[in-house]
Chain A
Amino acid sequence: MNNALLLLAILSSSLIPGLIIFTLPEPALRLRTTCNMAGVLTKLVLVGVLFQRVYQGTLPELRVPVLPGMELLLHADSLSLLFLGLSAGLWLLTTVYAIGYLEGSPHRSRFFGFFSLCIFATTGIALAGDLVTFLIFYELLTLSTYPLVVHRGTPQALQAGRIYLAYTLAGGALLLFATVWLRSLAGPLNFASAGILFTLDASLHADLSLIFLLLIAALGVKAALVPLHSWLPTAMVAPAPVSALLHAVAVVKAGAFGIIRVIHGVYGVEFSMTLGLLPPLAFLAVFTSLYGSVQALRQNDLKRRLAFSTVSQISYIILGIALGGPAAAIGGLVHLVHQGLMKITLFFCAGNLAETLQIHKISDMAGVGRRMPWTMSAFTLSALGMIGLPPLVGFVSKWYLGFGALAVGQSWIVVFLVVSTLLNAGYFLPLIYRAWFMAPQGRRNEDWPEKNGLETDWTLLFPPLVTAALVLLLGLWAQAPFSPLYWVQLIVLREYGQ
């Protein structure tokens, strides 16, 4: 199968099941599940084949002419495969989880249809070869995630959906304007490892800086940078699989991935340095991280606390890119995968607690470890990973971030890392303490449904355990071939050419 067909197959492996599921009537449970699973598994196999081809150095490409002088370009370089691998893998687990979670709830065909469209858009974002194609799939992501956010249909959900659309569509409009402006200045914007704008003459530097500001603002909406982050906590009314999808796999990562593409693919790190664009971005990332952690401390609702923790963790990725050095870039890029694994486990566990024990508030999490030991052990493992304890993946990315900062001479970043680790501990350790070491208060004990066999349905338990195991294993065998760290080092090697 030649390269272009492979890319097309990967894209349609989530589009076609989605369209089929839309047409399925509500009670066709078995057909819908097989459709879902078929899509997921074919996608995983195809991504594996693509990994193997890109590892050997071939660059699969697919060009679709759209207008005279403009064409859509899909290409799979090593960076896009990082994001593609993450989204394909976690999509399998999230689908299994969602099938279990939404047992018996209405509108499931509609949910899984948009669920697949969302992954189709994420795949498109990962494989986008130039800023125009990226913009098209970026907007498609907005369209396909809005119905998921408002899935429950309650007035609060619709209000959250309205806020979500307001932010993301405004961001989309800004991105459209910046892309058109950049394209009219610099011609086709194909992503090149060393960036393409350094050839333009000096007179345009002022425009380019303004465009960079617009691009970061537009992508910052989805990457939840501080002034543009407030849609994320309000989007917590969505069901748990959607929150997992939004935070760990699709929307937030798309924003961060966009910023990586703009800095590495379009502007190029050296040119951004000469324009002096990266230091303010690094500072904004640090400020966002600290602000997110402080806000997380103040939340009593479990999912809102996790939401603010995402706001702070995503800015680690942006910090890694904004520092500029290869080591920091490794830290940032590998955190893209690690944060995904840890955050999706936390959300799976939060979903389990909400689904089986109707626990939403942290205050009534006392002694829940005794009732649901497996879920809470996965939760604890990921929480510790988020804090950055050595054997887990969180430590790996923080280590490279600190090491990279020192290499670039930004020693104050290490101080920031320590402070942020303390803050992480501040809002995760009480959860762990409350779950394991506090006895369930009086009356709360009886009204927990009796445990028969597994603490909850196997489809709700299996995904968090797998991701928790990955959090541990990828931490211990970070240097193993085909581990995220190994692949990121390959990316940075090709990027910086050392």
Chain B
Amino acid sequence: MILADFLLAQPWFVWLILLPLGGAASTFVLPRRVAPIGFCCALLILAGAVFSVCQLTATGSLTQAAGHWSAPLGIVLRADGLAVVMLATTAGVGFIISCYALGYFPARGHEPSRARYFWPLWLFVWAGCNALYVSADLFNLYVTLEIVTLAAVALTALEGGAPAVGAALRYLLTSLVGSLTYLAGVALLYAGWGTVDLSLLSQVLTEDPLSRTAMALMICGLLLKSALFPLHFWLPPAHGKAPAPVSAILSALVVKTAYVVLLRLWFEVFASFDRAMTAHLLGALGSAAIIWGSLMALRQERLKLLIAYSTVAQIGYLFLVFPLAGAETAATVWTAVILFMVAHACGKAAMFLVAGTIQQTAGHDRISQMAGAGGPIGVLAVVFALASVTIIGLPPSGGFFAKWLLLNAALATGQWWYCPVILTGSLLAAAYVTRVLSWAFLDVRRNVCPVSSRVMKWPPLALCLVALLLGLAAYGPVRVALTGAPVTGHVLVEQRP
């Protein structure tokens, strides 16, 4: 039993930051043994995430001050429900992407530099994500956001073509503007209240013009970085042009980092403010994102751009949370958004990995000519179909129960007009997915294509099975997500008259 006690005592959420950083540095220093180091690092991180989940269920949310310096002076790291669920999702999806990348970037392939630089950059993104979910300090969040952005930009440009490099540069400049605007907000808060710690600020912050300006600046910066509707122009080219595992990383994991920061600010730091106007603005932008993103996805000719625009639409769902978070529906909405992020991460990553395999076997990803070029499409079609079940939000996937809770919150707070938006979003998603899936059933002569390696076919299948069964097994993740959450109340709200 000593081992179990030792394992439970270890601060796993801190190890989950140092591990990928060490991995990134060592893969940079030893380029020839990049794949083995990268893979065993992914394995260790996955194990660490599992241990941190067990630790959370055993002892509740943990906090730790870096270097034993308490809140106002030092940096506080906190592993609450939201952080641990996101750590576990990033670890799970990241591990699958790492397995896929072993096949996609063969170390001895014709372009060794792509494999050599994929692993350090990917491990830096992983470290940035883990550090961001765990941090409870505004300036520390700024630095983690920068690590994630810079590494994601370099990964996007890994493809090497002019469109990819152009998209990466536009991504970098937009994110830089977003971060500096966010930093301006942090500066105002520090000037006014002398601390950047989340929990301290939520106690001491009062609502006055300075803090409202800071809130506005920080929210605008984070909107730009999480690509909400009017500020999403940089996302589709970046996600569409990048290599498949990179697109999966960007769409499934990186997009959620800026959003989680916004979630923490909204539910903790600025909880006491009256933000009805801002909430409805975010809700309106979210709804516009859902409709516009889905319509654009319907019109795309290439598969990866279609999936990228689908990401823009699904981000819209996340922003419906703010207007729906009423007094008694806060817990409902908090659970809905976490369930949605986990389901979307798994589903979207599986979709992009399948698109990558199709592009490698068929040589292109144009939807219209995909039927003929299919090759051994059995597993690919099944994986894409299962992943799209989550994206559309059909039962028994996690997406379904997330949308159920969103609808419940919308009806409980009387804002019924969000219901048609949520439902139309699902139907439009079904439309653009059917457009892609019909090539799987088209009965046309398939020319024989090189069979993609085993490691590229089966991991996405595991990922979308997780997304599919998440709905049925939602009890565990939801309970974990609610530990230490800054919300109270029932998950399912009934207006008992």
Q: Are B491 and A177 in contact (CB under 8 A)?
A: no
Given contacts A66-B475, A136-B395, contact A153 B442 (CB under 8 A): yes
Q: Are A67 and B475 in contact (CB under 8 A)?
A: yes
Q: Are A180 and B408 in contact (CB under 8 A)?
A: yes
Is the C-beta of B495 less than 8 angstroms from some C-beta in chain A? yes
Cα distance A155–B430 in the bound complex, in angstroms: 19
Cα distance A201–B496 in the bound complex, in angstroms: 10
Q: Are A162 and B475 in contact (CB under 8 A)?
A: no
Q: Are B434 and A139 in contact (CB under 8 A)?
A: no
- Contact partner of A66 among B392, B474, B490, B494, CB < 8 A? B474
Given contacts A176-B407, A176-B423, A184-B412, contact A165 B430 (CB under 8 A): yes
* A-contact 0/1 string along B453-486, CB 8 Å cutoff: 0000000000000000001101100110010000
Cα distance A203–B411 in the bound complex, in angstroms: 17
Q: Which residues in A have their C-beta under 8 angstroms from that of B442?
A: 153, 155, 158
State which residues 388-443 of B face A: CB under 8 Å: 389, 392, 394-396, 400-401, 403-405, 407-408, 411-412, 419, 423, 426-427, 430, 434, 438, 441-443
Q: Are B443 and A143 in contact (CB under 8 A)?
A: no
Q: Which residues in B have their C-beta under 8 angstroms from that of A66?
A: 401, 471-472, 474-475
Q: Are A153 and B407 in contact (CB under 8 A)?
A: no
Most buried by B among A64, A158, A162, A184: A184
Number of A-B contacts (CB under 8 A): 109
Is the C-beta of B184 less than 8 angstroms from some C-beta in chain A? no
Given contacts A136-B396, A181-B411, contact A153 B475 (CB under 8 A): no
- Contact partner of A67 among B395, B478, B494, CB < 8 A? B478
* B-contact 0/1 string along A288-299, CB 8 Å cutoff: 000000000000
Given contacts A170-B427, A184-B412, contact A67 B441 (CB under 8 A): no
Is the C-beta of B335 less than 8 angstroms from some C-beta in chain A? yes
Q: Whole-angstrom distance from the CB of A200 to the nearest CB of chain B? A: 7
State which residues 150-183 of A face B: CB under 8 Å: 150-155, 157-158, 161-162, 165, 169-170, 172-174, 176-177, 180-181, 183
Output the nearest chain B residue to A184 by Cβ-Cβ distance: B411
Q: Which residues in B have their C-beta under 8 angstroms from that of A69?
A: 490-492
Is the C-beta of A442 less than 8 angstroms from some C-beta in chain B? no
- Contact partner of A143 among B389, B423, B441, B478, CB < 8 A? B389
Q: Are A67 and B474 in contact (CB under 8 A)?
A: yes
Is the C-beta of A5 less than 8 angstroms from some C-beta in chain B? no
Q: Are B495 and A184 in contact (CB under 8 A)?
A: yes
Output the nearest chain A residue to B426 by Cβ-Cβ distance: A173
Q: Whole-angstrom distance from the CB of A211 to the nearest CB of chain B? A: 11
Q: Are A165 and B478 in contact (CB under 8 A)?
A: no
Q: Which residues in B have their C-beta under 8 angstroms from that of A203?
A: 497
- Contact partner of A153 among B430, B441, B478, B497, CB < 8 A? B441
Output the nearest chain A residue to B429 by Cβ-Cβ distance: A169
- Contact partner of B411 among A64, A152, A158, A180, CB < 8 A? A180
Q: Which residues in A have their C-beta under 8 angstroms from that of B389?
A: 143
Q: Which residues in A have their C-beta under 8 angstroms from that of B496?
A: 187
- Contact partner of B494 among A64, A165, A183, CB < 8 A? A183
Is the C-beta of A49 less than 8 angstroms from some C-beta in chain B? no
Output the nearest chain B residue to A136 by Cβ-Cβ distance: B395
Q: Which residues in B have their C-beta under 8 angstroms from that of A139?
A: 394-395, 400
Is the C-beta of B493 less than 8 angstroms from some C-beta in chain A? yes
Cα distance A72–B430 in the bound complex, in angstroms: 25
Q: Whole-angstrom distance from the CB of B406 to the nearest CB of chain A? A: 9
Q: Whole-angstrom distance from the CB of B396 to the nearest CB of chain A? A: 6
Cα distance A67–B434 in the bound complex, in angstroms: 30
Cα distance A170–B420 in the bound complex, in angstroms: 11
Q: Are A67 and B492 in contact (CB under 8 A)?
A: yes
Q: Are B497 and A204 in contact (CB under 8 A)?
A: yes
Q: Which residues in B have their C-beta under 8 angstroms from that of A137?
A: 395
Q: Which residues in B have their C-beta under 8 angstroms from that of A174?
A: 423
Is the C-beta of A147 less than 8 angstroms from some C-beta in chain B? yes
Q: Are A184 and B493 in contact (CB under 8 A)?
A: yes
Is the C-beta of A408 less than 8 angstroms from some C-beta in chain B? no
Q: Are B434 and A68 in contact (CB under 8 A)?
A: no
Q: Which residues in B have their C-beta under 8 angstroms from that of A176?
A: 403-404, 407, 423
Given contacts A67-B491, A68-B490, A139-B394, contact A184 B497 (CB under 8 A): no
Cα distance A69–B404 in the bound complex, in angstroms: 13
Is the C-beta of A422 less than 8 angstroms from some C-beta in chain B? no
Q: Which residues in B have their C-beta under 8 angstroms from that of A158?
A: 438, 441-442
Cα distance A70–B474 in the bound complex, in angstroms: 11
Is the C-beta of A140 less than 8 angstroms from some C-beta in chain B? yes
Output the nearest chain A residue to B442 by Cβ-Cβ distance: A153
Q: Are B475 and A68 in contact (CB under 8 A)?
A: yes
Q: Which residues in B have their C-beta under 8 angstroms from that of A200?
A: 497
Q: Are A201 and B497 in contact (CB under 8 A)?
A: yes
Q: Which residues in A have their C-beta under 8 angstroms from that of B411?
A: 180-181, 184
- Contact partner of A173 among B382, B408, B427, CB < 8 A? B427
Q: Which residues in B have their C-beta under 8 angstroms from that of A493?
A: none
- Contact partner of A64 among B472, B478, B491, CB < 8 A? B472
Given contacts A153-B441, A180-B404, contact A68 B478 (CB under 8 A): yes
Q: Whole-angstrom distance from the CB of B343 to the nearest CB of chain A? A: 13
Q: Which residues in B have their C-beta under 8 angstroms from that of A140?
A: 394-396
Q: Are B394 and A172 in contact (CB under 8 A)?
A: yes
- Contact partner of B434 among A64, A162, A184, CB < 8 A? A162
Cα distance A162–B430 in the bound complex, in angstroms: 10
Q: Are A185 and B495 in contact (CB under 8 A)?
A: yes
Q: Are A150 and B441 in contact (CB under 8 A)?
A: yes
Is the C-beta of A135 less than 8 angstroms from some C-beta in chain B? yes
Q: Whole-angstrom distance from the CB of B173 to the nearest CB of chain A? A: 40
Most buried by A among B394, B412, B478: B394
Q: Are B443 and A153 in contact (CB under 8 A)?
A: yes
Q: Are B472 and A70 in contact (CB under 8 A)?
A: no
Chain B residues at the A interface, C-beta cutoff of 8 Å: 335, 382, 389, 392, 394-396, 400-401, 403-405, 407-408, 411-412, 419, 423, 426-427, 430, 434, 438, 441-444, 471-472, 474-475, 478-479, 482, 490-497
26 contacts between A and B (CB under 8 A): A66-B471, A66-B472, A66-B474, A66-B475, A67-B401, A68-B490, A68-B491, A72-B472, A136-B395, A136-B396, A140-B394, A140-B395, A142-B394, A143-B394, A152-B443, A155-B442, A158-B438, A169-B426, A173-B427, A176-B404, A183-B492, A184-B412, A184-B493, A184-B495, A185-B494, A200-B497
* Known A155-B442, A180-B419, A184-B411; 17 more pairs at CB < 8 Å: A66-B471, A66-B472, A67-B401, A67-B478, A67-B491, A70-B492, A143-B394, A150-B438, A153-B444, A157-B441, A161-B441, A162-B434, A169-B392, A177-B419, A180-B404, A181-B407, A185-B494
Chain A residues at the B interface, C-beta cutoff of 8 Å: 22, 64-70, 72, 106, 135-137, 139-140, 142-143, 147, 150-155, 157-158, 161-162, 165, 169-170, 172-174, 176-177, 180-181, 183-187, 200-201, 203-204
Top 6 A-B pairs, shortest CB-CB distance: A153-B443, A69-B492, A136-B395, A180-B407, A173-B423, A68-B491
